[in-house]
Amino acid sequence: MRFGILGTGMVGQTLARKLVEQGHEVRMGSRSADNDKAAEFATEAGQGASHGTFADAAAFGTIVFNCTAGAHSLDALHAAGAQNLSGKVLIDVCNPLDFSKGFPPSLSVVNTDSQAERIQRAFPAARVVKALNTVNAAVMVAPERLPGTHALFTCGNDPEAKQIVEEILRGFGWEQIIDLGDLSSARGTEAYLLLWVQMYQVLATPDFNIAVVRG
Amino acid sequence: MRFGILGTGMVGQTLARKLVEQGHEVRMGSRSADNDKAAEFATEAGQGASHGTFADAAAFGTIVFNCTAGAHSLDALHAAGAQNLSGKVLIDVCNPLDFSKGFPPSLSVVNTDSQAERIQRAFPAARVVKALNTVNAAVMVAPERLPGTHALFTCGNDPEAKQIVEEILRGFGWEQIIDLGDLSSARGTEAYLLLWVQMYQVLATPDFNIAVVRG
Residues B114-169 have pLDDT tens digits of 999 999 999 999 999 999 999 999 999 999 999 999 999 999 999 999 999 999 99
Judge whether B166 is closer than 8 Å to chain A, CB to CB: no
Give the pLDDT of residue B66: 98
Judge whether A125 is closer than 8 Å to chain B, CB to CB: no
Give the pLDDT of residue A79: 98
Segment A68-92 mean pLDDT: 97
Distance CA B117, CA A199 (A): 18
pTM listed for this prediction: 0.97
Is 0.85 exceeded by the ipTM? yes
Percent of the residues in chain A that have a pLDDT greater than 70, as a whole number: 100
Across the A:B interface, residue pairs with CB atoms under 8 Å apart total: 129
Segment A184-190 mean pLDDT: 98
Give the pLDDT of residue A100: 93
Asked whether the beta carbons of residue A210 and residue B213 sit closer than 8 angstroms, the reply is: yes
Asked whether the beta carbons of residue A111 and residue B112 sit closer than 8 angstroms, the reply is: no
Residues B90-123 have pLDDT tens digits of 999 999 999 999 999 999 999 999 999 999 999 9
Percent of the residues in chain A that have a pLDDT greater than 90, as a whole number: 99
Asked whether the beta carbons of residue B214 and residue A197 sit closer than 8 angstroms, the reply is: no
Taking a C-beta distance cutoff of 8 angstroms, is the pair A169, A152 a contact? Answer: yes
Q: Which residue of B has its CA nearest to A182?
A: B198
Give the pLDDT of residue B1: 95
Asked whether the beta carbons of residue A208 and residue B205 sit closer than 8 angstroms, the reply is: no
Q: List beta partners, residue B65.
A: B5, B91
Chain B residues with beta carbon closer than 8 angstroms to that of A207: 214-215
Segment A124-145 mean pLDDT: 98
Going by the DSSP 8-state scheme, the letter that residue A144 receives in this structure is G
Identify the structural domains of chain A with CATH numbers, from first to last. Answer: 2-203 (3.40.50.720)
Segment B180-201 mean pLDDT: 98
Asked whether the beta carbons of residue A212 and residue B192 sit closer than 8 angstroms, the reply is: no
Distance CA A134, CA A209 (A): 8
Give the pLDDT of residue B121: 98
Give the pLDDT of residue B137: 98
Segment A96-113 mean pLDDT: 94
Chain A residues with beta carbon closer than 8 angstroms to that of B205: 214-215
Confidence of residue A21 (pLDDT cuts 50, 70, 90): very high
Phi, psi of A173 (to 5 degrees): 110, 5
Segment B182-204 mean pLDDT: 98
Segment B58-86 mean pLDDT: 97
Asked whether the beta carbons of residue B209 and residue A213 sit closer than 8 angstroms, the reply is: yes
Residues B195-212 have pLDDT tens digits of 999 999 999 999 999 999
Distance CA B129, CA B117 (A): 10
Phi, psi of A144 (to 5 degrees): -70, -5
Cα–chain center distance at B3: 12
